[in-house]
Amino acid sequence: MASSPLPWNLLYLLLFSPFPQSSAITCQTHRITKGFSLTASFNKHVPLESPSREFAFGFQRIKSDGFLLAVWLNKIPEKTIVWSANRDNLVQEGSKVVLNDSGLILTDQTDKRIWHTDTFGVGVSYGEILNTGNLVLYDQISAISWQSFNEPTDTLLPKQILSRGKSLVARYSEDNYSSGRFLFMLESNGNLVLYTRNFPQNAPNYAYWKSETEGSGFQVMFNESGAIYLQAKNGNILKYLSMTSSSMKDFYQRAILENDGVFRQYVYPKGGDPTSSGWHEFRSESLPSIPPNICTSISGEDTAGGACGFNSYCRIGVNQRRTCSCPSGYTFIDPSDPVKGCKQNFEAQSCDGEDHDDLFEFYSMEQTDWPYGDYQHFKEVDEEWCKKACLSDCFCAVAIFRGRECWKKRVPFANGMMDPSLSGKALIKVRKNDSSPGHPDKNDRSVLVLIGSLLLSGSVFMNLLLLLAAFLVAFYLNPKSKAIQPNPVASGINLQVFTYEELNKATNKFNEQLGNGAFATVYKGVLPSEDGNLIAVKKLHHLVSEGEREFKAEVIAIGRTNHRNLVQLIGFCNEDQHRLLVYEFMSNGSLANFIFGPSRPNWHRRMRTAQGTARGLFYLHEECSIQIIHCDIKPQNILLDDFYTARISDFGLAKLLKKDQTRTTTGIRGTRGYVAPEWFKNLPVSAKVDVYSFGIVLLELICCRKNFEAEAQENQMILSDWAYDCYHDRNLKLLVENDEEAMADIKRVEKYVMVAIWCIQEDPSLRPTMKEVTQMLEETIEVAVPPDLPSFTSSF
């Protein structure tokens, strides 16, 4: 590191001369000592300058929003900021930065501490801003105790090194410096990765570019000649991010992770003609920008909407920058901030089982796609068929048609991109201009549904009957929907009716068992009609009643659910004595295999699984038309799809099963397992039973172990007890021993354990709702300190 330590004689003077401050310091404006202070002010304040005066440190005013304590390039009119202390927390006039024995401290106008340098207890004697732009603090023996080069914001400068575990975080927008949506991180394992950040969380999310240097990457170096490369520990260059052939002496340089997620290098001619100078993107011939195309790079599950946010699409413009736009029928949620995504500006199709075909039309966009997140896929169909299928499906907002394939998407659709490399088209379903949501063509069917909703507070049975009635009417009055699916059940939902023979064939005579539970056996199968889609066929035994109506009504209720964290029901069979349910096949098995298996899955993936499961339950409890209480949340019932997204299965079945059966899951050897205490006490059961079970699953996810482990030490046998003890004794590290990633994220571990403790409160009314749980896990609301848990022996 290029720091020029003070000559010893000067140091001697500084430390021991009776008048050091006045003689040695005042003439060197780039050096600061104890007592140094700068105040944010609308009037010009004199910043601290580097000896060359090329860099300065002080307060910069950011529009009218406040001040940023920053380092900037001082000789150019742009005063480009290359580092800042309080990017997420602008301060107002009167705020101050001072240097004392513990380092630099920024306080706001009310003396509240906003930021301070973390010198890990090493004292600070003086500081300076170097000609490289590095702000450095030294201790009494002139060793570096803190430097801004080690705490980069979004920019790297020549001579700066990004070491393992360090990252750049893009700013939110061009002129908003707060932490934005992208992360450039040299992970502790040596892999250099670009991630999306899941707003407003801080967790890395979707990796859209990787150096693939796990195990070997050591540091990212930006050298004076403008080369940026990833080095191994022995100095070997593993990968160039940028390369130059000419001298860069006459240029200012910087490399920045920009607010669009692209890592770019810029140069600025020194002392050139001020009218023609300015920052120019520098790109070596042989190396594309990173990533080469941001629009198509961010595409996968969990990208938080993609390069441009939900319901929007991304395009690379002539200037090589991305543009975010809304499809026809959609407008920006926040026009001043396009990356927040788009919203429908028409009333969405309702799922009341009516015929809406003439109220909606399609707007077609060539070379456009919203990859991933489709919930249905058909092969060997034509465009007309694809449109019809989307039109008659209330969940379908966009259909992608390519080749002879058709994919259906629901809102919010993600990863939108328009690019010449894409074939096929997107068909956007929009409400026709003259079709008010009042539906003048509604007939008595709507009256029926209306009565149904008026009575929703009445008995469940009544509702089911009404639902069934509504469905039957819709079904018989609406022959059109019949043309679309071979065996539609109700328009607006996509349930297929299978014959027993069809399923017998699809499962090859119920050959391959996937699972076997108390009330059902699950088999793997393949559907011949569609592209060989894999299915899971659940054969139910022991039903409450053999009543066909009740079964069908339940199945329709399940079929109406549609959420990315639920396993989707495809269809059913209800023939003679046979009751079968047909689901999508989940390729990655159950959460139980995932977390109790031999290799511990990644902490961030586990957190996402917890969040996904919470979202799925929140949907079942509060967002679907009839509340569904799962009653049997456990890792075996949470499945993982191709992308390891958590998908809850077996919901909506509770009512189909005999009551005593759900109540037989009594505790084993004194553990309560996943089952909420109210089951044992014959108290009324509410959605809070699922919250309880979720709390236990959350602990298991955090610790990757079962709630009950007979081989564990006595005080650790029951995870919920042990976790509470660790939380209580402020010793959470014990819970995640040997899990480096979780250890490094111990604050979040604590938060998650607190959420779990809230969930497993004995008193159901104390437990949060799944909505609150979701918000706490996604860190949009704070987690309060949970109450004590009564000891388990006392609760039985």
Ligand X SMILES: *[C@@H]1O[C@H](CO)[C@@H](O)[C@H](O)[C@H]1NC(C)=O
Cβ closer to ligand X: 150 or 244? 244
> If binding is defined by CB under 6 A, does position 105 make contact with ligand X?
yes
Cβ closer to ligand X: 224 or 512? 224
Report in angstroms how near the CB of residue 473 gets to ligand X at its nearest. 31
> If binding is defined by CB under 6 A, does position 119 make contact with ligand X?
no
The CA dihedral of 277, 281, 282, 286, to the nearest 10 degrees, is -150
Cα separation values, 725 from 667, 715, 728, Å: 21, 9, 5
Report in angstroms how near the CB of residue 204 gets to ligand X at its nearest. 18
> If binding is defined by CB under 6 A, does position 227 make contact with ligand X?
yes
Report in angstroms how near the CB of residue 115 gets to ligand X at its nearest. 11
Contact region with ligand X (CB under 6 A), list: 223-231, 288-296, 313-321, 535-543: 223-231
CB neighbours of residue 45 within 10 Å: 12
Which of the following is catalytic: 154, 632, 641, 690?
Answer: 632
Is residue 24 within 8 Å of 14, Cβ to Cβ? yes
> If binding is defined by CB under 6 A, does position 178 make contact with ligand X?
yes
Give the span between the Cα atoms of 184 and 186, in whole angstroms: 7
> If binding is defined by CB under 6 A, does position 118 make contact with ligand X?
no
> If binding is defined by CB under 6 A, does position 347 make contact with ligand X?
no
- Binding ligand X by CB under 6 A: which of 33, 150, 223, 453? 223
> If binding is defined by CB under 6 A, does position 763 make contact with ligand X?
no
> If binding is defined by CB under 6 A, does position 593 make contact with ligand X?
no
Contact region with ligand X (CB under 6 A), list: 217-225, 352-360, 512-520, 579-587: 217-225
Cβ closer to ligand X: 101 or 546? 101
Contact region with ligand X (CB under 6 A), list: 97-105, 347-355, 559-567, 778-786: 97-105
Is residue 366 within 8 Å of 380, Cβ to Cβ? no
Cβ closer to ligand X: 29 or 178? 178
Give the span between the Cα atoms of 68 and 114, in whole angstroms: 11
Cα-based angle 496, 502, 508 (whole degrees, multiple of 5): 130
DSSP state of 277: -
Is residue 296 within 8 Å of 417, Cβ to Cβ? yes
Contact region with ligand X (CB under 6 A), list: 96-104, 209-217, 648-656, 670-678: 96-104
Give the span between the Cα atoms of 202 and 205, in whole angstroms: 9
Report in angstroms how near the CB of residue 96 gets to ligand X at its nearest. 9
- Binding ligand X by CB under 6 A: which of 3, 39, 80, 102? 102
HSE-CB for 451 with a 13 A CA cutoff:
12
The CA dihedral of 408, 411, 415, 420, to the nearest 10 degrees, is 60
Report in angstroms how near the CB of residue 221 gets to ligand X at its nearest. 8
Residue 632 bears catalytic tag: yes
Cβ closer to ligand X: 71 or 90? 90
Report in angstroms how near the CB of residue 347 gets to ligand X at its nearest. 14
Give the footprint of ligand X on residues 50-79 (CB under 6 A): 65
- Binding ligand X by CB under 6 A: which of 3, 29, 225, 350? 225
Number of residues that bind ligand X (CB under 6 A): 15
Report in angstroms how near the CB of residue 176 gets to ligand X at its nearest. 4
Q: Which x/- pattern, by CB under 6 A, does the window 235-254 give for ligand X?
A: --x-----------------
Q: Is the previous residue joined to 291 through a cis bond, with omega within 30 degrees of 0?
A: yes
CB neighbours of residue 291 within 10 Å: 18
- Binding ligand X by CB under 6 A: which of 224, 347, 380, 642? 224
Q: Which x/- pattern, by CB under 6 A, does the window 406-435 give for ligand X?
A: ---------------------------x--
174 φ/ψ sector (left φ>0, alpha ψ -120 to 50, else beta): alpha
- Binding ligand X by CB under 6 A: which of 131, 176, 277, 350? 176
Which of 299, 304, 373, 398 shows the shortest CA–CA distance to 647?
373
Residue written as tokens 């996402």? 608
Give the span between the Cα atoms of 395 and 349, in whole angstroms: 8
Secondary structure tally for the chain: helices H, strands E: 18, 43
Q: Which residues of 296-333 are buried (b: 16+ CB within 10 A; e: fewer)?
A: bbbbbbbbbbbbbbbbbbbbbeeeeebbbbbbebbebb
> What token pair was written down for 392?
């008659």
Give the span between the Cα atoms of 619 and 771, in whole angstroms: 8
Tell me: is residue 634 an annotated ligand-binding position: no
Which uninterrupted H or E stretch holds 521?
strand 520-526
Report in angstroms how near the CB of residue 305 gets to ligand X at its nearest. 14
> If binding is defined by CB under 6 A, does position 100 make contact with ligand X?
yes
Beta-bridge partner residues of 255? 156, 265
- Binding positions for ATP: 539
* Residue ranges that bind ligand X, judged by CB under 6 A: 65, 90, 100-102, 105, 172, 176, 178, 223-225, 227, 237, 433
- Binding positions: 539
Catalytic positions, please?
632
